[in-house]
Amino acid sequence: MIEYIRWYDYILFLILLVAIILFSRSFLKKKISPDIYSYFLNGIIIKLIASQIYVHIYIYYYTFGDTIRFFRFGQFYKNLLSEISNIGFFEWLFMDNEKYMSYIHYRIDYSYGFADSSFFINKISGILSFITFDSFLLNTALFSLMSYFGLWFMYIAFIKMYPQLKREFAVSILFLPSVVFWGAGLMKDTLSLAAIGYMTYNFCRVFILKDKLSIVDIILNVLMFVFCSYVISQIKVYQLLAYLPGTFLWLFYHYRGKIKSDFIRISITPALLTFVGFAIIFGLQAFSEELDKYALENVVDTALALSYDLGRQDAGSTYDLGVINPTIGGLLSKIPAAVNVTLYRPYLFEAKNIVMLFSSIESTLVLIISIYIFFKVGIFNFIKKVLGSGVLLYCFVFTLIFGFAVGMSSSNFGSLVRYKIPILPFYMSGLFILYFQVVNQPFFDRFFKKKHKKAILKPNKNIQSINK
């Protein structure tokens, strides 16, 4: 058996953990507002601990998994630089998957190779191994840190828009258990989660927030947005295509408020919505090869195949969305069921093991909070607020598109709990923003009375247009 964890890996991890704590206390504490510093420090410690639990569960409980293969293949990639004499550094750095597999196929006991999207993770893991001394624990910890900082910057962007909701955003972005745990491993989901968080921050800084940015800052944020888009396109392109429509809508709503003419403002809305719709279709077609089962021409077949397979399987951790009519219309009719399974399932009675039990508890809490907020807000206010707010459209459109795609194409809850983590921070943040806009009170203040209530209700003058 391959030794994935060495005794001194624990020492290396403790050194990293202590270094992070000391650095945050001596430097970052001065840069971060005191009222959110505790969120930052507690969040990063919990994230790092979660990364180590993640490794041990996969090694000693599952004994297999993609995270193990990513690390192992990353080791092969890293070792190529020293083992193959005719490979130069830049050739090694930009090597494609086909050439890489040709070098290592004789060294592994797998009868298959990875797709290009997986090879991207192999590369990152192999590069990190140079500075982690080939430590699985440290490689995973660094992946978790990338994820955490992406979410932290997203958190900063959201509290700049709604400073009254610091606690609510901390819960929805930083401390959701599934996001903490499943976004802490050496996996595609961890890296894509980090990229989406950074993209949200970059987009908000340049286009939404009233920060006075220099030309250099604008260029850097735009370049970071483009780079993160590239990263997601390399590993999970369907997430990018689900994310961008809400971004375009938010941008449109933000600048639409600056148009003085009511006629122009109203008349261009249908044109934009049509443009976004065609952009989605074009994106699905343009990336059909990369999208695979999510491609427009394959999505119906994928859903039908899954439905057929589920019918042949025992209950276990699989789920069934019912009979699917083999048409686009029949597929779209499953949107409510697909989004429901992504956000609110597995239910408590569907839990078949300890992992599913924890997931079902979280899903139940998300469902309870959703029902409470929807009941408190009301259908009319919900529709009015969402259609009139760029940030709410941004959160809920991403949730709707992503939730539908994942809910339809996943076959079991085991995969679903990991796949759905990118939308949970957006969905929960959207709920808390919606509640605040209607009730004019932070959600948790309803249950935990807070002093200086009047100060809480004071709006942020710099972003009044966002709260419309």
Give the whole-angstrom CA distance, residue 121 versus residue 127.
10
Hey, is 190 helix, strand or coil?
helix
pLDDT above 80 for 296: no
The per-residue pLDDT for range 401-418, each reduced to its tens digit, is 999 988 887 778 888 899
pLDDT top residue among 464 and 76: 76
Cis preceding-peptide flag for 336 (omega within 30 of 0): no
Taking residues 240-264, what's their average pLDDT?
Answer: 80
Q: pTM for the complete prediction?
A: 0.87
| Ordered DSSP codes for 248-307 | HHHHHHHHHTT---HHHHHHHHHHHHHHHHHHHHHHHHHTHHHHGGGSTTTHHHHHHHHH
Could you give the percent of the chain with pLDDT greater than 70? 79
pLDDT in tens, 183-197: 999 999 999 999 999
Is residue 3 over pLDDT 70?
A: yes
* Bigger pLDDT: 233 vs 303: 233
- Give the per-residue pLDDT at 308: 47
pLDDT computed for residue 446 by the predictor: 79
Q: Calculate the CA 388 to chain-centre distance.
A: 25
**Number of Cβ atoms within 10 Å of the Cβ of 361:** 14
Tokens standing for residue 104: 């290592």
297, pLDDT greater than 80: no
Q: How far is CA 448 from CA 167, 168, 171, 366, 426, in A?
A: 11, 12, 14, 19, 23
Query: CB neighbours of 303 closer than 8 A, spacing ≥ 6?
Result: 321, 324, 331, 334, 408, 409
Tens-digit pLDDT profile for residues 376-402 = 999 888 999 998 889 999 999 999 999
pLDDT in tens, 260-294: 666 666 666 666 666 666 666 665 555 555 555 55
